[in-house]
Amino acid sequence: MKSESISKYRPFPAVALADRTWPDRLITEAPTWCSVDLRDGNQALPIPMSVEEKLEMFDLLVKVGFKEIEIGFPSASDTEFCFMRRLIEEDRIPEDVTVQVLVQTRRHLIERTFEAIKGARRVIVHIYNSTSTLQRRVTFGDASREDIKAIAVTGAEVVKELLPTLPTTEIVLQYSPESFSDTELDFALECCEAVIEVWQPTPEKKLILNLPATVEWATPNVHADQIEWMCRKVSKRESVIISLHTHNDRGTGVASTELGLMAGADRVEGTLFGNGERTGNLDIVIVALNMNSHGIETGLDFSNLSSLREVYERTTRMTVPDRQPYAGELVFTAFSGSHQDAIKKGLDRRAREGDEKWGVPYLTIDPHDIGRSYEAIVRINSQSGKGGVAYILDQEHGYDLPKTMHPQVGKRVYDLADQRGEELSAKEVGDVFFTEFVNVNSHLMLKDYELDYHSAERGELACKAVIEIDGESKIVEGVGNGPINAFVQGFEETGLKDFTLTDYRSHAVRGGSSSDAAAYVQLRKDDGTILWGVGCDPSIEMAGVKALVCAWNLLR
Ligand code: KIV
Ligand code: ZN
């Protein structure tokens, strides 16, 4: 912003709470979760969900494990009203799930809401009125504190008056001083106390005080101070459930919620993937998975996040950004070479040592735990390192390259990615490897190879190979303690040996229906060049011989 714009704004006042305790607290258990996807989320959609879409979303929220679900604003429209009626009349609300309905503190709207919930087993009736200085001044035309408190009290009284009309429905009461985040704390408390006075909660029949950061005006520590202040000052604390409802205007809805929980809140309202007004509501997926990642049970099951995301994107017509924690397309993908390397080491070590606790660099959780796969973890572009390429060849193609071969293959793969200016798929990485490093037969072609175990001295064997070198056929014969050594000796006899064999490895190729063996031969040329070649063949001996031919060719 330019200075002349910045001068329009002022600092947000701190809360006078010098002896705050929340900074030393840890989150050790999950709060009660309430989904507001079907209300705050839905009201913020350019195209709101249809009744059928709301039903699908409702079933999804139940499946995830939400026990409290705000299903809408039944007095606001026929769609909302009908939705509530369908849930009740079609008996779609499971025994252990309580639906919540929102309504302003106005008699006719509250009456309509009570009509909508008739016949439900248990419902949270949630009333709200806006309390902040800004709203009092601008929206309500300089309304006084008394006027605003009276709105809250009237609403609470109407609700109380209507309770006996639904004797078979258990009704839990909830009040929100809307715009709490920029309401003077003493006035927010005054409104809450006035409602408490009307509703008279008890420890057995608690009421919910929801303290919304309707707009996120301040840093999360200020929010935490506000919540701790309210938790300390509210009367009948043992009869009151303190609920958080954060929005994300400053991008810190998650942090505000986490600090708010440390400050003493019992309950959290939010949505899947943070859908909601403006920058959205709190993303409950993030907060719950953050807790899981610290070993805390939440009662919410996000083990199949991708299918959840599919329903969410289809019914809301919103999209989850690529970098969204946990759910985003790219969040378990490492492009940087050093990250890929460290991830591979971490995963290998876990596979080897079977560590009970998670500890893989750069990954806060095991992607499998939320239904993501390792296949997508390492993707290859020109910024990738050798570790990433080796990881792909190992995981996707079953080739466990010797460590000293990683740079040789890695360079070729990321040079290609650079040339193309785009990411390479696992298949393309494999194509480069198989074309350029496996069974390469370019100058020297192996036409035939036979071993004779009897004609040589004890413990040795003889080989006879037919090769074609630059179009000319030759016979190579040699003796050695193994097929490769025998072939190397044959190279010497034929005048083709300008190298030393410096390393050799082999293993069975893993995965698929392959019964091949892979062999790796490292040669050092007399001029000092060192290269690996790979041979692949159903016979491990032939794989070694082919690897030698391949390395020889690569040295040319
Ligand atoms: O953000 C908000 O203040 C709300 C209230 C209605 C709870 O959504
Ligand atoms: Zn809201």
Q: Number of folded domains in the chain?
A: 3
Query: Is 21 among the domain residues?
Result: no
**Best of 35, 40, 180, 244 to mutate for ligand 1, by most ligand atoms within 8 A of CB?**
40
pLDDT tens by residue, 257-288: 999 999 999 999 999 999 999 999 999 999 99
Domain containing 517 equals: 444-555
Q: Is there a single domain that holds both residue 489 and residue 531?
A: yes
Residues 6+ positions from 227 with CB-CB distance below 8 Å: 22, 211, 242, 244, 259, 260, 263, 264, 265
Q: Is there a single domain that holds both residue 73 and residue 204?
A: yes
- Provide φ and ψ at 123, rounded to 5°: -140, 140
Q: How many residues does the chain have?
A: 556
Tokens of 55: 């039903």
The helix/strand/coil state of 259 is helix
Tokens of 126: 């949630």
Instruction: For residues 336-348, give the mean pLDDT.
Output: 83
In ligand 1, which atom is closest to the CA atom of 269?
7
Domain CATH number, residue 101: 3.20.20.70
pLDDT of residue 338: 77
Question: Would you say the CB of residue 214 lies under 6 angstroms from ligand 1?
Answer: yes
Distance, CA of 57 to CA of 54 (rounded, Å): 5
Tokens of 482: 């193994």
Of 322, 340, 339, 335, nearest to 423 (Cα)? 335
Instruction: For residues 152-170, give the mean pLDDT.
Output: 98
Question: Would you say the CB of residue 176 lies under 6 angstroms from ligand 1?
Answer: yes
Instruction: For residues 124-140, give the mean pLDDT.
Output: 97
pLDDT of residue 378: 56
Cα–ligand 2 centroid distance for 84 (angstroms): 20
In ligand 1, which atom is closest to the CA atom of 178?
3
Q: Is there a single domain that holds both residue 460 and residue 524?
A: yes
pLDDT of residue 456: 63
Number of H helices, E strands in the chain: 18, 14
Q: Looking at the predicted structure, is the pLDDT value of residue 156 above 80?
A: yes
Q: Whose CA is nearest to atom 1 of ligand 1?
A: 214
Query: Is 2 among the domain residues?
Result: no
Element (H, E) at 532: strand 530-537
pLDDT of residue 348: 87
Q: Whose CA is nearest to atom 4 of ligand 1?
A: 214
Tokens of 166: 């639904």
Cα–ligand 1 centroid distance for 177 (angstroms): 8
pLDDT level of residue 306 (50, 70, 90 thresholds): very high
**Where does a domain end: 265, 287, 316?**
316
In ligand 1, which atom is closest to the CA atom of 36?
8
Q: Looking at the predicted structure, is the pLDDT value of residue 11 above 80?
A: yes
Q: Is there a single domain that holds both residue 460 and residue 375?
A: no
Q: Is there a single domain that holds both residue 428 and residue 477?
A: no
In this structure, the number of other CB atoms found within 10 A of the CB of residue 486 comes to 25
> Mean pLDDT of all residues in the chain?
94
Query: Is 10 among the domain residues?
Result: no
Q: Looking at the predicted structure, is the pLDDT value of residue 35 above 80?
A: yes
Cα–ligand 1 centroid distance for 44 (angstroms): 12
Query: Is 5 among the domain residues?
Result: no
> Quick one: residue 85, left, alpha or beta (phi over 0 = left, psi -120 to 50 = alpha)?
alpha
**Where does a domain end: 316, 345, 378?**
316
Q: Is there a single domain that holds both residue 526 and residue 396?
A: no
Residues 6+ positions from 229 with CB-CB distance below 8 Å: 15, 17, 185
> Quick one: residue 147, left, alpha or beta (phi over 0 = left, psi -120 to 50 = alpha)?
alpha
Predicted structure pTM score: 0.80
Query: Is 321 among the domain residues?
Result: no
**Best of 35, 70, 73, 102 to mutate for ligand 1, by most ligand atoms within 8 A of CB?**
102
Q: Whose CA is nearest to atom 5 of ligand 1?
A: 178
Instruction: For residues 125-144, give the mean pLDDT.
Output: 96
In ligand 1, which atom is closest to the CA atom of 179?
3
Decide if 473 contacts 466 (C-beta within 8 A).
yes
Query: Is 322 among the domain residues?
Result: no
Element (H, E) at 450: strand 444-452
Cα–ligand 2 centroid distance for 338 (angstroms): 42
CA dihedral 48, 243, 272, 225 (to 10 degrees): 110
Q: Looking at the predicted structure, is the pLDDT value of residue 337 above 80?
A: no
Instruction: For residues 325-332, give the mean pLDDT.
Output: 93
Distance, CA of 364 to CA of 358 (rounded, Å): 8
pLDDT tens by residue, 413-454: 988 888 888 888 889 999 999 999 999 999 999 999 999 887
Q: Name which of 137-141, 260-264, 459-463 the model is least confident about.
A: 459-463
Q: Is there a single domain that holds both residue 471 and residue 411?
A: no
Element (H, E) at 479: strand 472-480
Decide if 318 contacts 273 (C-beta within 8 A).
yes
Q: Is there a single domain that holds both residue 514 and residue 370?
A: no
| Amino acid in the structure at residue 296 | I
Q: Is there a single domain that holds both residue 381 and residue 262?
A: no
pLDDT tens by residue, 347-403: 889 989 988 899 999 999 999 999 986 554 556 776 776 778 898 899 889 999 999
Question: Would you say the CB of residue 245 lies under 6 angstroms from ligand 1?
Answer: yes
Domain CATH number, residue 476: 3.30.160.270
Please report the sign of the dihedral spanned by the C-alpha atoms of residue 299, residue 300, residue 303, residue 307. Answer: positive
pLDDT of residue 457: 66
Q: Is there a single domain that holds both residue 453 and residue 347?
A: no
Q: Looking at the predicted structure, is the pLDDT value of residue 142 above 90?
A: yes
Q: Can you list the positions of beta strands (E) in 65-206?
A: 68-72, 98-104, 122-130, 170-178
Cα–ligand 2 centroid distance for 39 (angstroms): 9
Cα–ligand 2 centroid distance for 457 (angstroms): 87
Output b/e per residue, 339-358; b: 16+ Cβ within 10 A: bbbbbbebbeebeeeeeeee
Question: Would you say the CB of residue 178 lies under 6 angstroms from ligand 1?
Answer: yes
pLDDT tens by residue, 469-514: 988 999 999 999 999 999 999 999 999 999 999 999 999 998 755 6
- Provide φ and ψ at 67, rounded to 5°: -105, -10
| Amino acid in the structure at residue 533 | G
Query: Is 331 among the domain residues?
Result: no
- Provide φ and ψ at 388, rounded to 5°: -65, -40
Q: Is there a single domain that holds both residue 431 and residue 454?
A: no
pLDDT tens by residue, 76-96: 999 999 999 999 999 999 999
pLDDT of residue 341: 81
Decide if 259 contacts 22 (C-beta within 8 A).
yes
Distance, CA of 23 to CA of 221 (rounded, Å): 9
Distance, CA of 494 to CA of 418 (rounded, Å): 41
Q: Is there a single domain that holds both residue 116 and residue 75?
A: yes
Q: Looking at the predicted structure, is the pLDDT value of residue 335 above 80?
A: no
pLDDT of residue 422: 82
Query: Is 1 among the domain residues?
Result: no
Question: Would you say the CB of residue 212 lies under 6 angstroms from ligand 1?
Answer: yes
pLDDT of residue 376: 40
Cα–ligand 2 centroid distance for 384 (angstroms): 42
**Where does a domain end: 436, 466, 500?**
436
Decide if 488 contacts 481 (C-beta within 8 A).
no
